[in-house]
Chain A
Amino acid sequence: KTQVEQSPQSLVVRQGENCVLQCNYSVTPDNHLRWFKQDTGKGLVSLTVLVHENDKTSNGRYSATLDKDAKHSTLHITATLLDDTATYICVVGDRGSALGRLHFGAGTQLIVIP
């Protein structure tokens, strides 16, 4: 059973537009949530991590929120660039150490067009 669901599955935006990616999960316990960016043919690169209830983080044009009560996170990308074209993967960790498991969503494929 999939424990991390991402939406939309794919998204096309024009350069300069903003977009929002969603992540819903049922992982318990939910120690932390991390967003990764995966360029085509590459590995995953961490963008941001959220740990506490109602956490909000910002990393340049990327910002994220976490609602632990609703088990929901959003990733906002502002003023998209062509280089933002990638798959964005939501990952929920059930513990703070490597003894825990990471639960991966299938990703949202973002395509930014000129």
Chain B
Amino acid sequence: DMKVTQMPRYLIKRMGENVLLECGQDMSHETMYWYRQDPGLGLQLIYISYDVDSNSEGDIPKGYRVSRKKREHFSLILDSAKTNQTSVYFCASRNREDNQAPLFGEGTRLSVL
């Protein structure tokens, strides 16, 4: 069953704490994405990963970093979280070459107090 799994689904952190969001996929997709979704805005790309240890900044990378040590796993890290990083974070994956739709996880709702 093709699936993108995000953990945790809900997270509350205090400002200044470190945050780790995890994403896994079982389709051996090369490309994986991290987006954030805020009310009234379209999804914004934080980072894209083309394969293991091949990561590129998206449109809003400041305050975030990523790690991809295995093809099926892509992590988003917030070092010293800020209140303006409160958002819903989505991970997605797709094959690199074809035009199939990216497959999205169900999101992680992060609140930074």
Give the interface of A toward B (CB within 8 A).
Answer: 2, 4, 31-32, 34, 36, 41-46, 49, 51, 89, 93, 96-99, 101-107
Contacts and interface: CB of A to CB of B under 8 A. Distances in A.
A107 to B, nearest CB: 7
Contact of A98 (B30, B40, B44): B30
Where chain B touches its partner, the secondary structure class is loop
Given A43-B4, A104-B43, A98 B104 contact: no
Contacts of A99: 50, 96
25 contacts: A31-B99, A32-B99, A34-B101, A42-B106, A42-B107, A43-B90, A43-B105, A44-B104, A49-B101, A51-B99, A89-B42, A97-B96, A97-B98, A98-B50, A98-B94, A98-B95, A101-B45, A102-B45, A102-B102, A103-B42, A104-B42, A104-B43, A105-B42, A106-B40, A107-B42
Contact of B97 (A31, A42, A98): A98
B25 interface: no
Contacts of A96: 99
Interface in B15-43: 30-31, 35, 40-43
Contacts, number: 58
Given A98-B50, A104-B42, A41 B99 contact: no
Contacts of B50: 98-99
Nearest to A32: B99
Interface residues of B, number: 26
B106 A41 contact: yes
A51 B30 CA distance: 23
Given A106-B42, A107-B42, 12 more contacts: A4-B42, A34-B101, A42-B106, A43-B4, A43-B90, A43-B106, A45-B104, A49-B99, A89-B42, A96-B99, A97-B98, A97-B99
A78 B40 CA distance: 26
A106 B41 contact: yes
B111 to A, nearest CB: 14
